[in-house]
Amino acid sequence: MMRYGRAFALFLLLMVLAGPVAAADLSGVVYSQGAPVASQTITVEGKGDIKTDANGRYKIDLPPGNYTLIVRGKQFPVTVPAGGTTKDIRF
């Protein structure tokens, strides 16, 4: 029984030391024929939808990892590192 208590204590210690996974910024601009596109819907697969602002810019906080952005039915893969990244989309 003592062995399980120690294992559980070690597990809790590791969880505290690891801390929560910080979100990283994914941002960019959507362009069509060289001009920024306002109010364009971007689907982040598995995370939901966001819209570009009046200047075609978007920003979302995501845990680091690999994602697929879907804009106008086209897929754009992106890797978000811990420090965040920028992904412009051009049509």
- Tens digit of each residue's pLDDT (9 = 90 or more) over 21-51: 578 999 999 999 999 999 999 999 889 999 9
Rg of the chain's alpha carbons, rounded to an integer? Answer: 19
**pLDDT, tens digit, 9 for 90 and up, residues 50-83:** 999 999 999 999 999 999 999 999 999 999 999 9
Environment class of 28 (CB within 10 Å of its CB; exposed 0-12, middle 13-18, buried 19+): buried
DSSP structure class, residue 3:
H
Q: Return the amino acid letter for 45.
A: E
Domain annotation for the chain: domains and CATH numbers:
22-90 (2.60.40.1120)
Cα(87)–Cα(24) distance, rounded to whole angstroms? 13
